[in-house]
Amino acid sequence: MDLQQPPSVRHFDHCPWLFGEAATDEQRQAQRERQRALGGDTVIGERCYVAGSAAVFPDRLRLGDDSYIAAHAYVTGELTTGTDCTLNPFTTVRGTVALGTGVRIGAHTSLLGFNHSMAPDRPVFRQPHTSRGIKVGDDVWIGSHVVVVDGVTIGDHCVIGAGAVVTKDLPAWTVAAGNPARPLRDRRDVPTAAPARRDPLARFADTARAQAPEVIARCWDGARYVDRPGAVPTVRAHCDAVEIADLLLGTAPGQLTADEHVGRLAGAQDPDTGLVPEFGEPLPEPEEDGFTGEGAALYHILSVGYALDLLGSSFPHPVRGVGNMTARQLMTRLAGLAWRDGAWGAGAWIDAWATAAHWNLRHAGDDGGGAVEALFGRLLGSVDPWTGMWGSPSSVEGRLQVVNGYYRLTRGSFAQFGLPVPYPERVVDTVLDHARDPRHFGPGRENACNVLDVAHPLWLCARQLGTGVVGDGYRTAEIRAWAERQLAVVLPRWRDGRGFGFGPAGPAGPGPEPGLQGTEMWLAIVWYLADLLGRSEELGYRPRGVHRPEPARTGLGPHGG
């Protein structure tokens, strides 16, 4: 190209990198006017270019120095970029999107930092929007015709191959491609002539996946599921079998058809109370406020509800004791929970109540008369700002009740409803302190509940703080070291054809014999530990039931996600 003849504006729109050297004074003035004319809350750095043919209608735009938006790009919502970022021709960026420094986005790529709700009560185009946002780190190259969906974080130094559909977070240095996008390698790895051995996480997942049918079949007594051979059939064992099959096989357990699984689980729900009693046991008697305070029926709200959800169904009836409870009755119940010496039980009750409220909101489409909002108001007003938790430690158990109760409480409330937990840094401090307690985490003493109840709060708070643990986040090194130690202990505990045992013999849980509960819980724990290390993609599975990492809904209203 002869630079003696300045390119046209149309040429700059498609090749904006030429603008800095080749534009005339008149063209530079026109570009300044173009930038001033953009709507919304807009701040544009030095030496930037915004194509005249680009449709840029931001609510908030922060374009870093030496960045450009090329021809026919479509930009709405909130876009923030670092320096040296490029949106090439026909790029679409919508919703809430944050780019680091040195990000290159190929032509025809879409970063969609928003979503529609999908409740069945109205057409999709009338549904409210939700937005968790997209975050892209520094030094990232996203190829052409890529789609990145809402809620995804792409770590520093990643490369995304053309045509990929990115639906899950990618750790730093990942080279990914495909639909859905999967990690191919680490950019820092130097190829060698000899084939590399598969990663231990991938080998573990392959083994678990191959043996899952056998693990489940050994716990089928010919008529119903048991936790382990010789045990009595339980509702939870049936639900654990559904969770394991969905996680590893993507299908229902083979002993029954999917419709038969749904029929058994949905048919176990009492239509008057909405509760599911244990096999052979009577329904719990309702207390003064109409709901129950303890027993297997409380956990069945979680296990049966999510098993039905995995099977593409749901509870046929609302949980009436929760749906009919007033905010005043709920406050009375919360005040009466054993926070001082039984924080685990208090958290478990809130987990069951809030999960029932979630199913009721999905079933009935109402907000329960404000009781759900009252729950969060009470929790936010009563949390200890020094620990970020509820309840008191004891001289006998230390923080065990408090931390385990925190997991159950936040799982059903803040995490399930997609709301931020209070004081996340203090939670990390408290949980890491608890994880050093040799009474519960000494050699051979870890059980599934205790490890999960540390892993999930660390994961939840790291995500909320916005750093995960791949980068330089709050106490990242300690979190990673703890996760690595736990993985090194957990993976060898898999027993061929039998799965995982829950943990050492003791007053809680089914004990060391491999069974469905231990297998279901440890599979989820392995995912959280791996994700704390930025390596969960190596497993090829992601929990979708009781232990799902994503919220089951976003917000408190009837049309949450």
Give the pLDDT confidence of 173-212 residue by residue, as tens digits: 999 988 888 888 888 876 554 444 558 899 999 999 999 9
370 — pLDDT class (breaks 50, 70, 90) = confident
- Rounded to the nearest integer, the mean pLDDT of the chain is 90
What is the structure's pLDDT at 242? 98
Q: Is residue 9 part of a domain?
A: no
What is the structure's pLDDT at 192? 52
Q: Are 276 and 154 found together in one domain?
A: no
DSSP 51-105: -TTSEEEEEEEEE-TT-EE-TT-EEEEEEE--SS-EE-TT-EEEEEEEE-SS-EE
Domain count, the chain: 2
Q: Is residue 15 part of a domain?
A: no
Residue type, 267: G
**In the predicted structure, residue 3 carries a pLDDT above the cut 50:** no
Residue 63 contacts residue 43 (beta carbons within 8 Å)? yes
Query: Using CA atoms, how far apart are residues 36 and 42, in angstroms rounded to an integer?
Result: 8
pLDDT tens column, 207-229: 999 999 999 999 999 999 999 99
What is the structure's pLDDT at 33? 92
**Domain coverage including residue 180:** 32-186
Q: Is residue 561 part of a domain?
A: no
Instruction: State the CATH number of the domain containing residue 57.
Output: 2.160.10.10
**In the predicted structure, residue 427 carries a pLDDT above the cut 50:** yes
**In the predicted structure, residue 365 carries a pLDDT above the cut 70:** no
What is the structure's pLDDT at 121? 77
> Other C-beta atoms within 10 Å of 308: how many?
22
Query: Using CA atoms, how far apart are residues 415 and 552, in angstroms rounded to an integer?
Result: 8
Q: Are 58 and 166 found together in one domain?
A: yes
**In the predicted structure, residue 12 carries a pLDDT above the cut 90:** no
Residue 413 contacts residue 375 (beta carbons within 8 Å)? yes
pLDDT tens column, 501-550: 999 866 667 889 999 999 999 999 999 999 999 999 999 999 999 999 99
Q: Are 160 and 209 found together in one domain?
A: no
Q: What is the mean pLDDT of residues 157-169?
A: 91
Domain end residue (candidates: 137, 161, 186): 186
Q: Is residue 22 part of a domain?
A: no
**In the predicted structure, residue 123 carries a pLDDT above the cut 90:** no
Q: What is the mean pLDDT of residues 358-362?
A: 93
Tokens 């007003």 appear where? Answer: 381
**In the predicted structure, residue 15 carries a pLDDT above the cut 60:** yes
Q: Are 144 and 208 found together in one domain?
A: no
Q: Is residue 494 part of a domain?
A: yes
Query: Using CA atoms, how far apart are residues 249 and 549, in angstroms rounded to an integer?
Result: 19
What is the structure's pLDDT at 195? 45
**In the predicted structure, residue 369 carries a pLDDT above the cut 80:** no
pLDDT tens column, 434-480: 999 999 998 888 899 999 999 999 999 999 987 655 456 789 999 99
Q: Are 297 and 383 found together in one domain?
A: yes
Q: Are 402 and 446 found together in one domain?
A: yes
Residue 133 contacts residue 153 (beta carbons within 8 Å)? no
Q: What is the mean pLDDT of residues 271-286?
A: 94
Element (H, E) at 182: strand 182-186
Q: Is residue 432 part of a domain?
A: yes
**Nearest by Cα to 456 from 485, 479, 423:** 479
pLDDT tens column, 70-117: 999 999 999 999 999 999 999 999 999 999 999 999 989 999 998 877
Q: Is residue 556 part of a domain?
A: no
Q: Are 226 and 274 found together in one domain?
A: yes
Q: Is residue 232 part of a domain?
A: yes
Q: Are 268 and 144 found together in one domain?
A: no
Q: Are 171 and 211 found together in one domain?
A: no
Percent of the chain with pLDDT over 90: 74
**In the predicted structure, residue 164 carries a pLDDT above the cut 60:** yes
Q: Are 204 and 154 found together in one domain?
A: no
Q: Are 233 and 180 found together in one domain?
A: no
Q: What is the mean pLDDT of residues 257-281?
A: 96
What is the structure's pLDDT at 368? 56
Instruction: State the CATH number of the domain containing residue 486.
Output: 1.50.10
Q: What is the mean pLDDT of residues 239-247?
A: 97
522 vs 123, residue with greater confidence = 522
Q: Are 424 and 321 found together in one domain?
A: yes
pLDDT tens column, 293-332: 889 999 999 999 999 999 999 999 999 999 999 999 999 9
